[in-house]
Chains A and B, each alone.
Chain A
Amino acid sequence: MARFLIVRLSLIVVTLLAVSVAIFTLIEAVPGDAASVMQGQQATPDSLRNLRAQMGLDRPPHIRYLDWIWDAVRGDLGQSAKSNASISEIMGERLAHSALLAVLAFVIAVPLGLVMGVWVGTRADTKMDRFLTMGGLVTISLPEFVTGVVMILILSSTLGWLPSSSIMMPGESVIGNPKVLVMPVLTVTGALFAYIMRMARANVIEVMESNYVRTAILKGLPMRTVVVRHVLRNALLPTITVIANNVGWMFGGLIIIENLFAYPGMGSLLIQAIDTRDIRMLQSTALIIASVYAFSNLAADLAYGALNPRVRLS
């Protein structure tokens, strides 16, 4: 077990390094840098050259990358290229905001998705099953920026129940204004819930058709016992992997949702960093997101091992 953990952790380190190189290379390949984006149409060759020198962008790319990684390893994420603000300061609060959003969505979507999935899975091809399956498909198919905008128009513009964006006056916090969380959480939850439900349903149906379940039913076990003891355990295994993989996918959704609702989290920060070619900010933000993804996959593998002794690694 210890060896397994060590191997996995060092793999994560390698992954993160690869991610940082990939991001750096990609953003270098995209036209425009922080200086040219900052000056836009008003840039002159002189002003650009001088601004690049002032921002340190005139140094060769590999020097800038090594510079960044050397600082990052020592725990110094540096300053935003455009505003001179400390990146770790900016990120601290935002990380908490995104985590809150993600955890809330998870806490709502996972149990609900599993329960509904098992419930309709054992009632396959009933009207309720078809209704929920179709509904889920629609929710998954609509991108977040569409469901988000529709929600704003209904819940905010028309009914006036909720604020259309997450902006807060100084001194206010997300915790103190739970209303700002409702629409972002609902938007994330919607797709996630539908996805988990469909996954759980499919797995339950598959297990329900297996020989051992048929045997269990035929030998006269009560349906509840069959489901809880035989179906659930086997059906949940693949579902858990799906949930873990969804953490990364959910972060993708979070980026769009946070941007749409002006929610002060990591996702909207990432978009800002890309838009302004703020490489240090982007690297730091992306690395945090990649770490969350890597560690949630690890957690999924561990949970999988706990549920299924056959795949337990040594």
Chain B
Amino acid sequence: MKLPFCTFKLKHLAVFGLAIALIVALACSSDPAPAPAPAPAIDEQQLRSIVADAVTQAQPAQQPQVSAQEIQSMVQAAVGSVQMPDLPEQVSASEIQAMVESAVAGAATEGASPEQIQAMVESAVMAATADAVTGADVQSAISMAVSESQAGMMTTEDVQSAVMKATEGQITAEQVQAIVDRAVATPEPAMGMMGDEPTQGGSIRFGMIAFNSLDPMLAGLAQAEAPYGELTHDSITMYWYDGEVTPWAVESWSSTADLSQYTFKVREGIRFHSGDPVTSADIKYTLDRIRHPDSPSPHRDNINYIDTITTPDDLTVVLDLGDPNAFLMGDMTDYHGRIVPNGVSSEEIASAEYGSGPYTLGEHNPTVRTVMDRNPDYWREGRPHADQMVFFYMPEQVTRIEALKTGAIDVVLSPAFESLGALAGNPDVRIATTPSAGVVVIDMHTSYAHVQGNDDHAAVQGANDSIFSNKNLRKALQYAVDRDFVAEAALFGRGSPANDHPVGINDQYYWDEQPIIKQDLMKAREYLEAAGYGDGVEINLDTSDFSQMLDTAEAFKESVEAADIGISVNITAHDSSAYWTAQWMNPCCPFVTSAWGARPANAAISVQLRGSGVWNESYYNNARLDELLDLASSEADFQTRKDYFQEMQEILIEDVPVLYLAYTPVMYAHRANINGVQAHAALAHWLFEEWWVSEN
């Protein structure tokens, strides 16, 4: 009697549980709310589209922030309008509940976009009908392993299809029934985690790729050094979650009216782990180390506009910039600029920890693990919460994800997008996410002429311009690609389309009325014709399996070739360890993928697009853009600065030296008992000291 209806029932059970969970979760995440109403049963598709419609309608396209209350009322309205279920009292599917709870909790605190919420709800619904290991789990795990180990004994497709065959129909009706029975038998989990007070203690274990140098000024982003730097050191300033520059080791600052001289007041009472106080001399030394002509720090070129630094007294630092600069305080948040004590040599800093941060370095074995212990004398009251932070070095993505699923580790920062499907189904794992100005791009080398004779660009000396010096070809590609598709496919539904400039939509200098570029095959054809490629063109795209670049390249190819306007794309994937040396910014490869972490507008444009810039990866040269950058940095009035940035965005959209395709959100995957985790949109900011461990 039961069996024939099993799958039918299950859909209802899932939707029913989902509805309860949504209401309960929302009730608990905001303040008191009525007890869950008798729950409805509607078609899964119906609920999905209701939620999706409600969420998208409530939001204009430019502002993807949705508050918890808004979601709550939308969902309640949607749920209230449907009839009573055929299958009443049976359900309390706590697994589904926990998943949706995590999805909504994430959305409520992080301000996720409607697309993200929808994707989360959808994946929760999907996951509700399956057990821990699905065919997709196996498939994604194996495809990861295959692509990561470069032993080419079988092709990825071979393995995938073999495993798919093996796992098809793995989950039988009986198994599903058993899962539901178990869920019904399990009492509802205690909720209300959101309101709990942080407790001190416990340890948080991270799965990291590898560790390079202990010296903060050499920290790389892909490895564990940047998180290590934040845990063990203090910054001069930090971005808070809202993107505002926040006082940190420097408690206040002022500048002259023309923005050419800044004065920092150092916070009293900060001590290095050695016990010495942090003084103005330490801040001067930290910056001077980075600014030194022999400095190996990649940050050097970003702050070389500082002329001289003086320290009138122990708590005052005066920076003379020579030229005005409105963006100094933002540059002081950079993760290379963690404060180290005056006079300590680079050799010493590279072999031990000299910071003043919330944690002190304990055991450090750079190929196995790094242990950091709570600094009881940290200057921020009541921080940090966790007693211990441990990094484990696990180079394989699949190993980190599996260890997170089984609870061997607690956190994976930047989980690969393709692993999220597998994680979404796990009730013990949460994803903290927030939109960011991080972006995946395709560079087009526009011109090598302006860097001839420039030692910083040795690779392109004497090179002939590429076909992409032809603006009409760049414009053709701009309109040929379907950005919505790329954002969806390359970022697994988590990205949002970008608009051919690096300014994030939450940036204060984002041009609000800008025309959003949409795929337009008419225009693309016209430009292609004008470029002289009316009969079609074949282009080579060089990429590497790093930061979703390979997925972006493949989505681009698929999108452009499906448009059938005569553009064909050949993708070559290169080894990621040599990619930045051998292919990127090299005339061999004038059409290459790149990926950028989130930077504020001025930093993003000036490092990526200024004619003389060392990371001008498309060899773009526009005198007006450079001039606007200078004008903006010396302008004290916000509105005027904003106008300058608007013109820069206009120029970039018109000239399209780089195809900025999709914004990538910041994401951390963590165990449910790690609390206080809030995804931070700024580059290399985590605020680990806010994280705490609860039992279970």
Contact = CB atoms under 8 A, between A and B. Distances in A.
Contacts of B295: 46-47, 50
A288 interface: no
Interface stretch (A7-15, A107-115, A231-239, A255-263): A255-263
Q: Which 10 A-B pairs have the closest CB atoms?
A: A51-B296, A31-B582, A164-B402, A83-B366, A31-B578, A262-B394, A50-B296, A32-B578, A42-B298, A32-B581
B408 interface: yes
A46 B408 contact: no
Interface in B309-351: 346-347, 350-351
A260 B145 contact: yes
Nearest to A49: B296
Contacts of A160: 406
B424 interface: no
B178 interface: no
B185 interface: no
B207 to A, nearest CB: 8
Chain A interface category by residue count: 35 or more
B647 interface: no
Interface in B379-402: 390, 392-396, 398-399, 402
Given A157-B133, A164-B408, A42 B220 contact: yes
Given A167-B408, A272-B367, 7 more contacts: A40-B222, A42-B220, A42-B298, A143-B149, A152-B141, A164-B402, A260-B399
A272 B210 contact: yes
A31 to B, nearest CB: 4
Interface string A247-272: 00000000010011110100011011
Contact of B402 (A36, A53, A165): A165
Nearest to A264: B368
B670 to A, nearest CB: 16
8 contacts: A32-B577, A42-B615, A44-B456, A143-B149, A149-B142, A160-B406, A163-B403, A170-B371
Nearest to A42: B298
Interface in B655-695: none
B469 interface: no
Given A37-B577, A84-B351, A272 B362 contact: no
Interface of A: 30-32, 35-48, 50-51, 53-54, 80, 82-85, 90, 94, 143, 145-146, 148-150, 152-154, 156-158, 160, 163-165, 167-170, 256, 259-262, 264, 268-269, 271-272, 274-277
A40 B151 CA distance: 24
A165 B581 CA distance: 32
B220 A38 contact: yes
Contact of B301 (A44, A146, A150, A272): A44
A264 B395 CA distance: 11
A261 B392 CA distance: 12
B367 A145 contact: no
Given A170-B363, A264-B368, A43 B298 contact: yes
Interface string B267-295: 00000000000000000000000000011
A153 B390 contact: no
Contacts of B296: 35, 47-48, 50-51, 53-54
A60 B297 CA distance: 23
Nearest to A143: B153
Contacts of A165: 392, 394, 399, 402-403, 408
B308 interface: no
A40 B220 contact: yes
B6 interface: no
B212 A32 contact: no
A45 B456 contact: yes
Nearest to B162: A146
Given A38-B213, A272-B210, A272-B395, A277 B350 contact: no
A260 B141 CA distance: 11
A160 B578 CA distance: 38
A163 B406 contact: yes
